[in-house]
Amino acid sequence: MAKKLTSKLLLLSAGAMLTGALLAAQSPGGMPGSGGGSTQQPAPGTAPGYPGAQPMPGTDVNGYPGSQPSGIDQAFIRQMIESDAIEVQLGQMAQEKSQSDDVKMFAQKTVENRKRLDDQLAPLAKRLDVSEAKGPGKKDKQEIAKLQALSGPQFDEEYIRAVEKGHEKDVKSMKQAASSAQDPGVQRAAQADAPIIEQHLQAIQKIAQAHNVQTDESKK
């Protein structure tokens, strides 16, 4: 009788162990050490998409790339803001120093349009974290100083050359940004503004012809 009882107890114990093993194998975590099916959840703040998670550099809170602004887009916005500031300064100088009506009229329109374009770029500059312009560069400062020392036809000639050169550079940059900018807002701004700056370029080239001024374009 004792042997039969002992045999029954052993069978019950073995069955319980087998049932426990099967349940563990079917659980989401799998059996410890099995190496498959483990779904341990990361702690908050350690993986993208979880509450409290901190975005990794160059990604958004969901772990997708592209949250950081493009350095090329930032450089374009900074260049255009600096160019606007220089064109406004030169235009204001031309309105005071030039003795030619066509040059003065062009300068006035340039100041008005460049200020408007600058206002349009301001929100983009803020969103893309573009630092404020530090002022004209060394070459631009030299050009401004040279113009300040001139008057009459000599001023007009140098102003026309400087503006034509600056507008050629801006048109090239805008057309490039219009097709290759990564930020949609930057691309739209470049597409909208490129034709305006190109019209300015054509206008100053006609003025150059009227004043018999050789520019980079006329030398080609």
Place of tokens 């100088």: 93
Domain around 201: 71-210
Asked whether residue 116 is assigned to any structural domain, the reply reads yes
For the whole model, what pTM was predicted? 0.67
Distances (CA, A) of 49 to 26, 28, 32, 66, 206: 28, 21, 27, 16, 58
40 within some domain: no
CATH number at residue 94: 1.20.1260.10
> pLDDT tens, 135-178?
788 889 999 999 999 999 999 999 999 999 999 999 999 999 99
Residue 36 lies in a domain: no
Residue 181 forms part of a structural domain: yes
pLDDT of residue 22: 42
Task: Say if 88 falls within a structural domain.
Answer: yes
Is 70 buried (19+), middle (13-18) or exposed (0-12) by CB count in 10 A? middle
114 Cβ contact list (under 8 Å, min separation 6) = 84, 87, 88, 91
Give CA–CA dist 177/170, Å, rounded: 10
Upper half-sphere CA count for residue 187 (Cβ side, 13 Å):
7
Q: Does some domain include residue 41?
A: no
Number of domains in the chain: 1
In a domain, 13, yes or no: no
Q: Is 59 helix (H, G, I), strand (E, B) or coil?
A: strand
Tell me if 168 is assigned to some domain.
yes
Task: Tell whether the model's pLDDT for residue 71 goes beyond 70.
Answer: yes
- Helices 101-127 and 71-97: angle between axes, nearest 10 degrees: 150
Model pLDDT for residues 196-217, shown as the tens digit of each residue? 999 999 999 999 999 999 886 5
pLDDT the model gives residue 138:
86
